[in-house]
Amino acid sequence: MKLASHLLIVALMLVSVVPAVAHHAFAGTYNLDQIATVEGTIVQFDIRNPHSFVNLEVKDSDGRVTRWGAEWGGVTLLTETGVSRQTLKAGDKVVITGPPSRDPLEHKVLMEKIRRASYGWTWGYRPNEVLPAHSLQTAK
């Protein structure tokens, strides 16, 4: 009877983990073996769960403006690493790097690093500033 109880507990634990892993399957959305760099001006910053987003306007060499999105961590991760709703604002010029979308027409990246030219502020350059699910996906 004890063995059955232990097996049931293990089974319940596994079932509860599967949705979390499936939710963070970034490999289905992003090319995790590639890195894109996007430079532009922030038009919106949404810090929320389960993922935050930075939307920016990017001007190409011909002067055409395209709206890009950068998917980032949730509220807990960002606040624990010093990011708040006031950290980034519309009008900030930033450089974002990370894996690009598998669909290039989506114009989005999974943010690994961000640098704001004014004030020299950065995120993603220190060991604790990493998306946990992304680091698990790319670890070899």
Which CATH number is 80's domain given?
Answer: 2.40.50.1010
Least confident stretch, 14-23, 79-88, 111-120: 14-23
Q: Please return the burial class of 56, using the count of CB atoms within 10 Å of its CB with bins 0-12, 13-18 and 19+.
A: buried
Structural domain includes residue 7: no
Number of domains in the chain: 1
Structural domain includes residue 127: yes
Structural domain includes residue 62: yes
* Ramachandran sector of residue 22 (left: φ over 0; alpha: ψ -120 to 50; beta: rest): alpha
Structural domain includes residue 73: yes
Structural domain includes residue 3: no
The residue written with tokens 């055409």 in the block is: 64
Read off the pTM.
Answer: 0.77
CA torsion sign for 27, 31, 34, 38 is: negative
Structural domain includes residue 17: no
Structural domain includes residue 122: yes
Q: State which residues form the domain around 49.
A: 25-138
| pLDDT value of position 100 | 97
Pairing outcome for strands 113-116 and 93-98: antiparallel
36-63 pLDDT, tens per residue? 999 999 999 999 999 999 999 999 999 9
Structural domain includes residue 20: no
Query: 79: closest CA among 28, 123, 20, 137?
Result: 123
23-37 pLDDT, tens per residue? 456 778 899 999 999
